Amino acid sequence: MQQLSTRHLLGIKDLTENDIQLILETADNFKEVINRPIKKVPSLRDVTIANIFFENSTRTKLSFELAQKRLSADIINFAASSSSVSKGETLIDTVNNILAMKVDMIVMRHPYAGAGIFLSKHINAQIVNAGDGAHEHPTQALLDAFSIRQKYGDVAGKKVVIVGDILHSRVALSNILCLQKLGAEVMVCGPTTLMPRYIKDLGVKVEHNLIKALNWCDVANMLRIQLERFDIKYFPSIREYSMMYGLNKQILDSLDKEIIVMHPGPINRGVEITSDVADSKQSIILEQVENGVAVRMAVMYLLASQNPLA
């Protein structure tokens, strides 16, 4: 059988197309598992996983935790805000203390880009990046690709537009890399101020007009405006952003084709998308959440399988 070409999941950048396909195919099996009357398998019953979150998260943390429980792993949870990190302990010391408790795998979210890469050079445990600053959020990209594949049968040849705050978004970068590796065309759309300067170097189309972007695409992935990451004002007001880049039912219905709408959550209803779009049959937001558990099960299962028992 194939196995992943990497020991950690630090970013989509490190994955080959085969790795991504293997994860998506394994996730198909786990999707079936989590829809059984008894949704649990014993595969990781001898694996201990630490979820260390240096930044707030609701759905990613819950999704990982549920995936770990569905795989029968032992888990410990760590939130930086209520830990010795607030007393000045370093990242490596914190993680080494956790590893001394015989932990096999670390799922880490960190506010700084590259935190997972840094850690992987200093510790032996396998690391899954659950989001590092504005850098990568690989499992989100994998579940987005899985959701598109589930809807259309294949990602290759599909046109996907990522709308909104591309500058601060780890979801955008991971999505671009993942979708391109799977053969999709990617466009980014948003205000110039929220567009990274070198975005075109990634081989994506750039569009500032939402209607034009929507008319081009098969899938619209609407990103949240990450006001918490804004150190300066990037647009005059939320209301203006919403008028320029918000997706409402009227716009959706005016398109000459039926596109699907995605959102990594949490949704700011009435800002990126209106409620009638979020709750419409074209929205697959809740399917993304369900698929997230299956994809994260697949990732941790495949990583654990590389680490045989002594």
Partner 1 sequence: MLHKPLLSSTKFDLTIKRLCYQLIENHNNFSNTVIIGLQPRGTFLANRIKEELSKILPKTNIDCGNLDITFFRDDFRRRESPLVPNTTNINFIIEGKKVILIDDVLFTGRTIRAGMDAMLAYGRPKKVELLVLVDRRFSREIPIEPDYIGIQVDSIASQNVRVSWKETDGADIVELISGK
Interface with partner 1 (CB under 8 A)? 1-3, 26, 28-29, 32-33, 36-44, 46-47, 301-302, 304-309
Nearest distance from C-beta of residue 15 to partner 1, angstroms:
16
Which residue, 37 or 266, is less far from partner 1 as judged by CB?
Answer: 37
Which residue, 46 or 279, is less far from partner 1 as judged by CB?
Answer: 46
Nearest distance from C-beta of residue 299 to partner 1, angstroms:
13
Nearest distance from C-beta of residue 269 to partner 1, angstroms:
37
Which residue, 70 or 168, is less far from partner 1 as judged by CB?
Answer: 70
Which residue, 33 or 251, is less far from partner 1 as judged by CB?
Answer: 33
Which residue, 44 or 222, is less far from partner 1 as judged by CB?
Answer: 44
Which residue, 38 or 232, is less far from partner 1 as judged by CB?
Answer: 38
SS (H, E, C) the chain: CCCCCCCCECCHHHCCHHHHHHHHHHHHHHHHHCCCCCCCCCCCCCCEEEEEECCCCCHHHHHHHHHHHHCCCEEEEEEHHHCHHHHCCCHHHHHHHHHCCCCCEEEEEECCCCHHHHHHCCCCCEEEEEEECCCECHHHHHHHHHHHHHHHCCCCCCEEEEECCCCCCHHHHHHHHHHHHCCCEEEEECCHHHCCCCHHHHCCEEECCHHHHHHHCCEEEECCCCHHHCCCCCCCCHHHHHHHHCECHHHHHHCCCCCEEECCCCCCECCCECHHHHCCCCECHHHHHHHHHHHHHHHHHHHHHCCCCC
Nearest distance from C-beta of residue 30 to partner 1, angstroms:
8
Which residue, 17 or 32, is less far from partner 1 as judged by CB?
Answer: 32
Which residue, 39 or 212, is less far from partner 1 as judged by CB?
Answer: 39
What is the C-alpha separation between 252 and 148, in angstroms, rounded? 18
Nearest distance from C-beta of residue 102 to partner 1, angstroms:
15
Nearest distance from C-beta of residue 304 to partner 1, angstroms:
7
Nearest distance from C-beta of residue 46 to partner 1, angstroms:
7
How far is the first Cα of the chain from the last one, in angstroms, to the nearest whole number?
21
Nearest distance from C-beta of residue 126 to partner 1, angstroms:
12
Angle at 62 between CA 56 and CA 68, to 5 degrees: 125
